[in-house]
Amino acid sequence: MEVIPQTGSIGAEVRGLDLSRPLADDAFEQLVRAFLDYQVILFREQSLSPGQYQEFARRFGRLEDYIFAEGLDGYPYITEIVKTENETGGFGDFWHSDSTYLEVPPAITMLYARQVPPRGGDTLFKDMYAVYDDLSPGLQAALKNLRAVNSASGVPRDEDIYEAVKSRNSERRDQFAVHPVIRIHDQTGRPAVYVNGAHSRRFDGMTRAESRPLLDYLFAHVARPEHQFRLRWQPDTLAMWDNRCTQHHALNDYHGQRRVMHRIIVQGTAPRRP
């Protein structure tokens, strides 16, 4: 196994593994260490059946279905995300951490590229440990005492993002959960900023108007180019990222091209504060 860092703090390519075959325990332990160290890891040129894909994902924990979409026939934990040549809307086209409106958000998301445009459609990732580290000690201390209300209806655009997948549970669009603004990673013990522009609506106990100046400051920090990794997809690339300490943004810059991705999410634990 070879682990090749992609930036100064986030993202690594892993070479030398065939994920269609079961991994030995020592190889899996190395993989987990690389994942925790780099937060986003990717594998190129992987030929996986849906069953093999699910079995690889299960090594990392219990799988969950996506509450707003059906899974593939026979594979309920694999969500197919398709943008056709005639569609302009993008699924995940904003900075976010997946499903923070759940009481127990997913720890890990995996995305397997089945068909990608010849260019465009990259995904950006942000190191949220680094966002926390860049804050002043005074702001770090203030944020540790705050919680944020995260809503499924908080996506910052008028279009319905769930049209990109086969929609279900539309009555749950008002789903929300309250989580710490600073989250302690349950495996590394490191603090990370845990609010995002797609779902975090306000601080618990405050109005939106009172919350917006500080939330907007944190959201702007996420969009800065420092501590970002840009993943350029190729067919049969599999990427996995840690929702506990990263955010991601799927760029929607490939209109007229077809893109097909298979997504799996791995169950997490309830976020805990410092």
Largest Cα separation within the chain, whole Å, is: 53
**Percent of the chain topping pLDDT 90:** 85
What token pair was written down for 262?
Answer: 């298979």
The answer regarding whether domain 66-231+242-266 maps to CATH 3.50.50.60 reads no
User: Tokens 């944190």 belong to which residue?
Assistant: 218
Question: What's the pLDDT tens digit per position in 197-234?
Answer: 999 999 999 999 999 999 999 999 999 999 999 999 99
User: For the whole model, what pTM was predicted?
Assistant: 0.94
Question: Contact, 64 vs 77, CB < 8 A?
Answer: yes
Window from 68-72, 121-125, 234-238 with minimum mean pLDDT: 68-72
Element (H, E) at 30: helix 25-38
The average confidence (pLDDT) of the chain is 92
SS3 61: coil
Question: Contact, 88 vs 164, CB < 8 A?
Answer: no
**Residues designated as active site:** 96, 98, 248, 263
* Average pLDDT estimate for 137-150: 97
Tell me: pLDDT of 171 over 80: no
Bridge-based pairing state of the strands 40-43 and 12-15: parallel
Give the CA distances from residue 50 to residues 31, 47, 72, in Å, rounded to whole numbers and listed in that order.
Answer: 21, 10, 9
* Average pLDDT estimate for 167-174: 62
Please provide the DSSP assignment of 102-153 as one string: SSS--SEEEEEEEE--SS---EEEEEHHHHHHHS-HHHHHHHTT-EEEEETT
